[in-house]
Amino acid sequence: MTPQPGSVAPTPGTLDDFLDAEDIAPLPRLSDDEWAATRRACLGAMARQFFTLRNLWVHRGGYGRDSVGYAWGGIYRSLLVPSIVTTSYRNEGHLRAGDRIFGTGDFFRGGFVLPTTSVEFRELVEVVNLRHHVAGVVVPEGDGVRVLGAYEADYAYVATSFIESIRRGFAACGLAADSDRGREVATHFCVLLYQLAGCTGLTRIPRDLAAHERFRDAFDRHLATRPPAPRVRRMAQEIARRIVPVTSAMADETVRAHVRRHLDPDTARFLFPDETDDELESQRNEWQRRLRATTLEAGVRSRADSRSALWRRPDVAALHDAYRAAAPDLTNDRLIGAILLHALDANRTSAAPLEQRTIDLAAGEPLIRQGDTPGEMYVVLSATSPLVVMQASSAAPDPHRMATVSLPTVLGEIGMWRKMPATATVLAPQPSRVEVLVIDATRFEALRHEPGFRVAAAAAVQRRLAVNATLVGNALVDACVRSGDRRLASIAQLLRYLTGDSSVQVDAIDDVPLHATPAECVDSLRRQVREALDAGVLDPALERSLAHVVATIG
C-alpha cells in the first residue's frame, strides 16, 4: 500500500505492506462455544456442498475426500511464498513426507473437529509452534508464540490460500464465490482459518471478508512481480513431489487428477511443470492402502495419544523443560528445541532415548577442554555452581575468562559438526554437579541432517560471530553494485541465510549445494570472504567486518 502523507512507512513483510490500516484488526479470541458454532457452520457447508453426483461416483458413495483435496490445494498454493518454502524445507528434516503431511493435516483438521481447550488440540499447537520457532519465524510470547514482523503477511497468506482453495471447491460444486450464500460461507471460513493461524502466532488479521479479498489480491500481485529464485523453486518442487502421493491418497484421487482438480492452474504449473509420473502414482497407491485402515478423525486422535505418551519419556520431558527454560536471546532455546524435535521424530524409528548423565566436576576441572576434539555434545540441564568459558590464544597464551554459561544450554555442537578441536574450555571454578543429556557421535550423525538443527546451529554461530548480518549484508550489496563483483552479493545472502532468515532471496548464492550443511555453508562463506579480501575491492570498514568473520570462524 502507498503511505499517506505524514504516515509511518509500512514495515516490510507485515500486513501493513498490503492493506490500509482500517482493513487490519487485532485477532479476536473466540470462546469454545463460538469456535464450535463456527466449526459446525463450516463442516455443514462442506457436507452440503460437496454432496454431489460427481463426488458420490468418484469416491464410491463418499464426498468428504474432495473437500480434503481442496484444503490441500491451499497448502500447495502457499509454496509459492519463498519464506514458506525455506521454512518448510527446514522442517522436512523433522517430519518425513508422510509424517509432515499428517502433522500439517492433523493441525488443520483438528481445528475443524476438536475443541481448542482439548488436550489433543493443545498438543498439536505446541508441536507446530515448536517447529516454527526452531525454524526462526516465531518467538515465544506468554503461553504461546508471536510471528516475527517480517513474516506476518506470509503467515497470514497460508490461511488466505486455504480459504480461497475451499472457495474454489465450493464453486466447482455449484456455489458461486460471489453469491450471497457463497460469501456467507466464506466469512465462516475466514473466522476459523485466521483463528487457527492465531494459535500459531498471528496477532492481526484482515478485518472482514472484503479486506481478506483485498489482501489476497495484493499478495498475489506481489507474488507475480517477485517470483521465487530458481533455488527456492527447486525446493518447492521437491517438497511437492514428496507430499503429493500422500495428499492425493487422502483426496482419494490419482496424483494427476488431484493436481488438475485441487490445485489452481498457477500453482500446478509452478510445482509440477511436467506431467506427474508413474512413480508418484505407485507411491500414492501404497499410501491409499495404508490410509484405509483408519478414518481421518481417528488418525488425528491416535497420533495425538501416541505423542502424549512420548512427551512423558524422561529424556523428552527433560528436553521440553530445558527448552522452556532456555534464554531466547542466546538462541539456546532454538537449539534445544531442534534436539527435542529430533528426539520426538527419532522415536518413530525406534531410536534409543538420550543418555542422561551426572558429571561431578572438581574446582577448575574442564567439561570441555580447548584443543581437544569432542566426541560428544551436551545439553546441559543444570549445574550446582556456574560454568565459565575460558580461552587462550597465540597473543594471550594464558587462558582468560570469556563468559559465564547461561543454563540450560548446548555445548560442543560446532566442534562436533566440524570435527575440529574445541576453541575454548568450559570449566567449573568451584566444585559442581552437572546434569546433562548426552548426544554421542552416532546420534549426532543423525541429528546433523535435520534442517531445523542446521538453522538453529547457524543462528548460534551468527551470535558468536557478533556480526549484524543485515547491516553487513546491505554494505556488501552496495559494494557489489559499485564493483560489479557478484561474489559480494553471494556473501551477503550466505550471511543472512546462515542466521535463519527465511525471507532472504537465495538467487545469488554461489558454490553451495542445495542440501548444504551449516558447516559447508560456513566453509563456503569463509572461502568467498577470503577471495573478496584478496581482490581488494572493499572499503576499510567492510574489510574489518569481514576479516572478523574469517578470524572468528577460523
Residue 471 confidence (pLDDT): 67
pLDDT of residue 3: 44
Q: Is the pLDDT of residue 299 over 70?
A: no
Q: Burial code of 37-57, b = ≥16 C-beta within 10 A, e = fewer? A: ebbebbbebbeebbeeeebee
Calpha distance 135→324 (Å, rounded): 16
Task: Classify domain 317-462 by CATH number.
Answer: 2.60.120.10
pLDDT of residue 446: 83
Q: Burial code of 118-136, b = ≥16 C-beta within 10 A, e = fewer?
A: eebbbbbbbbbbbbbbbbb
Contact status, residue 194 vs residue 159, Cβ threshold 8 Å? yes
Can you give the pLDDT at residue 162?
A: 95
pLDDT score of 519: 64
Average pLDDT over residues 508-532: 76
pLDDT computed for residue 526 by the predictor: 80
C-alpha distance from residue 315 to each of 406, 410, 459 (Å)? 20, 15, 24
| CATH 2.60.120.10 in the chain, residue ranges | 317-462
Mean pLDDT, rounded, for 49-65:
89
Q: Residue 219 has what pLDDT?
A: 97
More confident residue, 484 or 150: 150
Answer whether 137's CB lies under 8 Å from 87's CB: yes
485's CB contacts (< 8 A; 6+ apart) are 479, 532, 535, 537
Across the range 243-262, mean pLDDT stands at 94
Find the mean pLDDT for residues 280-301: 79
Query: How many other C-beta atoms lie within 10 A of the C-beta of residue 235?
Result: 22
What amino acid occupies position 415? G
Let me know if 277 is exposed, middle or buried by CB neighbors in 10 A (0-12, 13-18, 19+).
exposed
DSSP string, 426-456: EE-SS-EEEEEEEEEHHHHHHHTT-HHHHHH
| Cβ partners under 8 Å of residue 308, min gap 6 | 119, 123
Residues 396, 299: Cα–Cα separation, whole Å? 61
User: Which residues have C-beta within 8 Å of that of residue 118, sequence separation ≥ 6?
Assistant: none
Contact between residue 392 and residue 452 where contact means Cβ atoms under 8 Å apart: no
What's the mean pLDDT in 411-438? 88
Name which of 270-279, 422-431, 434-443, 507-516 the model is least confident about. Answer: 507-516
Residues 199, 126: Cα–Cα separation, whole Å:
9
Q: Write phi, then psi, for 357 (nearest 5 degrees).
A: -135, 140
Q: What is the Cα Rg of the chain in Å?
A: 25
Supply the pLDDT for residue 200: 92
C-alpha span between 254 and 247 (Å, rounded): 10
Segment 183-239, tens digit of pLDDT: 999 999 999 999 999 999 999 999 999 999 999 999 999 999 988 888 888 889 988
| pLDDT 10s digits, 83-120 | 888 777 766 654 455 566 666 777 777 778 777 788 88
Q: Residue 10: what pLDDT?
A: 52
Asked if residues 436 and 384 have their Cβ atoms less than 8 Å apart, the reply is: no
Count Cβ atoms below 10 Å from residue 441 Cβ, excluding itself: 12
